[in-house]
Amino acid sequence: MIEMCALAWPIKILQELKEAVVRIINIHLLKAVAFMLFFVFRSSFALEIGKAAPELQARLANGSSVVLSAHRGKLIYLDFWASWCGPCRQSFPWMNALHEKYASKGFEIIAVNLDAKESDARQFLSEHPAKFTVAFDPVGVTPRNYEVKGMPSSYLIDREGRLLMIHSGFNEKGSKSLEQAIRKLMEEN
């Protein structure tokens, strides 16, 4: 009888230990599943009109960085472009004209180049000079945050850092409606 009691408590401890291990494993599995679901479905809720725009940090030609949050208080036209993009060649003169018209009213253009080789971007800029801020993100972190799907892609961000509009591509008709939207927002703010 004494031997049975002596064996019972180690078995009970082992059962409790097993249950504790199973609980810990289940918690870690739930965390892992939640983590995977976040990355699988994050694009469905990452960018929303009216919500905060993702932070932008890209390198300028002088080696410093442009940070979106440092431009609060301005209406921002954020443009993603590449040297191989035909419509981007058409958009640069238009963006230069916008910059000249509205920069003094708190409007700023930040154009982020996505070329893997900066020399390609520099060649493009020698043919199509920019009068606005140009930054470089050859690794592609920022376009992932903004879910860029084509070139050029542009985002209008209000003075408080909220996303107002998303636009893909560039053509003359679209540029007129974009400018009308920008002009309206300049008048409202």
Tens-place pLDDT, residues 94-111: 999 999 999 999 999 999
pTM, whole model, 2 decimals?
Answer: 0.74
The per-residue pLDDT for range 117-139, each reduced to its tens digit, is 999 999 999 999 999 999 999 88
Which sequence spans correspond to the domains of the chain? 2-41, 47-188
Backbone phi, psi, residue 48, to 5°: -140, 130
Weakest-pLDDT range from 2-11, 19-28, 55-64, 104-113: 2-11
Which range has the top average pLDDT, 1-5, 36-40, 90-94? 90-94
pLDDT at 11: 72
Range in 58-62, 146-150, 170-174 the model is least confident about: 170-174
What is the CATH number that goes with domain 47-188?
Answer: 3.40.30.10
Evaluate if residue 36 carries a pLDDT over 60: no
Within 8 A by CB and 6+ apart from 130, the residues are 92, 95, 96, 111
